[in-house]
A and B are shown apart, each in its own frame.
Chain A
Amino acid sequence: MTKRVVITGMGVVAPNAVGLQAFEHALKMGHSGIEYYPELAELGFSCCIGGIPKLSDEFIRNYLSELQLRNFNSSGILYGCIAGMDAWKDAGLELQETADFDSGTIFGAGTSGVDKFREAIYLLDEKKVRRLGSTVVAQTMASGVSAYLGGILGLGNQVTSNSSACTTGTESILLGYDRIVSGRAQRMLVGSTSDHGAYVWGGFDAMRVLTYKHNASPEKASRPMSATASGFVPGSGAGALLLESLESAQKRGARIYAEVLGGEVNSGGQKGEGSMTAPNSLAVQRCIRSTIENAGIEAGEIDLINGHLTATSKDSTEIRNWSEALGRKGTDFPLINSLKSMVGHCLSAAGSIESVASVLQIKSGFVFPNLNCEDLHSEITELISPDCIPQKYISREVKIVAKASFGFGDVNACVVFKKFEE
């Protein structure tokens, strides 16, 4: 019999809340974490709003030592360390003095230490290479976040970072799941992180994929599924989940949030309607169908979809893909929500922060509201009933959630979480 994989700990650093309890509250209340940032306006950005987690220096010192914080300038590694350490502790695990060979991490990132890299480039161009000191490599290497976490937690199994643009977080869950299912690890800390700021977001601003219409109304800016959606709002942060074999979790007497039933990752090959920046719907639907099959469930059992839904013209395409892949439409469609209405698009961190939100809905029995879609797009309401798109908090049992993420490079990932039953 194949190994079952459960979630025994979680951590989150999101623009609208830091820490599980605050995050659950923010989800239920529909708190937006989007704010105006004058530094973006000064740099001439069209979109001058974004989502940045709020962390005090005092709070940060609970996680990183004085030495680790010396010449430290990598927001993504910071967010990832906080979320990852929280997930580890939340699972009831200790910081150990010796390497734990049964525990590893697959903690993804899109970029690493972009601000640190900028500092280094200025010094290099001034011919001051030796002034870089020892801290540039660890903070700017793609695997920086997993390397930090591996050292802090004493992980002795696989320690790596995956990278697949905006699917990174969801992909990390499936990669960690596979490692446990194959019996090569007992515990895998999975998740993803994203740096914040102008040097990460600038490229998206230049592509005109960010909304520039809401600089004066940040909380109204992120409008997934709305007729007036005008581009996404850039976000940042990190999410982390401690995946564990059911065997190990039960042996430790650990609390179980939910079970991971599996999923699928694939790509549209940038063929057909797919490109570097647009999804091939054939591949998206195939990914969703394979996920259902791999998870061993029926499409009709899905209570809730946590979509990718970024607030661009692609939202209706996504809904059509879900509807066709699941064979469900109108009032028969599952409930669906998008966290991006509250926190924006957290890029490489999106999949993991949204997965934490998905699992919290299973754990506490609720569906969080979609903000800013009072004017649902007609292409969406032609496919599914407006009742499937809650705009108010709903208290109800949620047994099965399907979560998907799609990313540049025409890559897709979909995972199924289920309320744990023996």
Chain B
Amino acid sequence: MSQSKQEKMQALLEIMQPYAQDPSALANLKEETQFIRDLKINSANLVDIILDIEDKFDIEIDNDSMDKMMNVGSALEVIEAKLAAK
């Protein structure tokens, strides 16, 4: 099943929803949106978000990839790469 970038953005938005402390930043989610600075996500919750992404896309995200996932765009890139490698 191949999803468009738009669909992946939507899936990410749903995953972020319970963690994001800034609802307006979430409503205007862009590729540049940063998880901690913009969405005000507690840094401890980043590992939970990674697990939710793994479950949603049925992929495994290694530590190095996880370190790159600072904003929506980089998260999408990691997801694309992991899906392509499946």
Contact = CB atoms under 8 A, between A and B. Distances in A.
A124 to B, nearest CB: 15
B1 interface: no
Contact of B44 (A70, A131, A134): A134
Contacts of A66: 18
B45 A134 contact: yes
B-side interface mostly: helix
A135 B51 contact: no
B47 interface: yes
B19 A133 contact: no
Interface in B46-74: 46-48, 51
A65 to B, nearest CB: 9
A-side interface mostly: loop
Interface string A46-85: 0000000000000000000011001100000000000000
Contacts of B48: 70-71, 133-135
A150 to B, nearest CB: 16
B64 to A, nearest CB: 13
Contact of A67 (B19, B46, B47, B51): B19
B13 to A, nearest CB: 15
Please tell me the size bucket of the interface on A.
Answer: under 10
Interface in A253-273: none
Contacts of A133: 47-48, 51
A70 B44 CA distance: 13
Contacts of A135: 48
B51 A131 contact: yes
A169 B17 CA distance: 38
Contacts of A70: 18, 48
Nearest to A71: B48
A66 B44 CA distance: 16
A133 B51 CA distance: 7
B44 A67 contact: no
A66 B48 CA distance: 14
Contacts of A130: 47, 51
Nearest to B41: A67
A129 B44 CA distance: 16
Contacts of B45: 67, 134
Interface of A: 66-67, 70-71, 130-131, 133-135
Given A66-B18, A134-B44, 15 more contacts: A67-B18, A67-B19, A67-B45, A70-B18, A70-B48, A71-B48, A130-B47, A130-B51, A131-B51, A133-B47, A133-B51, A134-B45, A134-B47, A134-B48, A135-B48
Interface of B: 18-19, 44-48, 51
6 contacts: A67-B45, A133-B47, A133-B48, A134-B44, A134-B46, A135-B48
